[in-house]
Amino acid sequence: MTKKPLVIVSRKLPDPIETRMMELFVTRLNLTDTPFDRDALGSAMREANVFVPTVTDRIDAEVLAEAGPKLKLIASFGTGVDHIDFAAAKKRGITVTNTPRVLTEDTADMTMALILAVPRRLVEGERLIRSGTWEGWGPTLMLGHRIHGKRLGIIGMGRIGRAVARRARGFGLSIHYHNRKRLHPEIEEELEATYWDSLDQMLTRMDIISINCPHTPATFHLISARRIAQMQPHAYIVNTSRGEVIDEAALAKALRNRDIAGAGLDVFEHEPAIYPDLVKLDNVTLMPHMGSATIEGRIDMGEKVIVNIRTFCDGHTPPDRVIDTMF
């Protein structure tokens, strides 16, 4: 492009990123941070040269059908691209980019925090203090479970899964994993990780399950009622990936019946709506999708968006072009 592109941004981004965008492009910001409705998305499709959505914007085939001839790039602010109909974008000749490799450590930190918090009932303890009913220490008060020596089963051993494994080893957990492809032996040796070809068999043996795989058609409700039933009664499940990977109704039922011991969830299938039964339970810790919510991480994401836009507009292939949504 010989002139500055019109870049439309769907949500409020960190101030340094917005300032830099304004310097480099003709930028239309969303200073109120009001999520785009369907009309706003359609308008952006028609007007923009580059559209910068986030994971909360559903860019489906119907929305993409409104794209004008000027729209050439969707530079998503986020790692996952399951909110974009990649096939429809590709059909219309629209390039899609994302922001990988900048949220690994932040998300792994949150995963480890939940692995610690749920068995030790940290949120329940905090609620007890705030309720004003705590009567002091007691030998059987707020008993949780030790995590040292327990078996952690990681579903999805990509960058985040491996970062979780490294942290978990420091807490004395035994590392197990299920992945589409087995890791190289050197990585397995480094992580002291045991590979399970069968997810079903792994679930029956683990004390804690951590979900770190992306949402794809193949992983939708991967953790189904049948698979939850295979878990041990003392087991915990933690999800910091995508809510769609778990059947939330089945999970809520298992938690309510104490078929499993507890859960820590940072993501939900129909965000921001939460499955009502989950909110009523005291053995589940619910977080507002904040796994990657660090200032450093958000700025890194924004810088990747800018690099992708500049590279594309200079006539080159952007470094984070999405080729296949299956990763």
Question: How far is Cα 147 from Cα 145, in angstroms, rounded to an integer?
Answer: 6
Instruction: Tokens for 164, please give them.
Output: 């979780």
Q: Determine which one of 176, 178, 242, 298 is catalytic.
A: 242
Q: Is 190 one of the catalytic residues?
A: no
Measured between alpha carbons, how far is residue 250 from residues 40, 103, 265, 272 in Å? 35, 29, 14, 19
Contact 122, 262 (CB under 8 A): no
283 class by beta-carbon count within 10 Å (0-12 exposed, 13-18 middle, 19+ buried):
middle
Around 221, how many Cα atoms within 13 Å sit in the side-chain half-sphere? 9
**Close Cβ partners of 189 (under 8 Å, ≥ 6 residues apart):** none
Q: Determine which one of 11, 178, 227, 289 is catalytic.
A: 289
Phi, psi of 279, deg, nearest 5:
-65, -25
Q: Is 242 one of the catalytic residues?
A: yes
Q: Active-site residue numbers?
A: 242, 271, 289
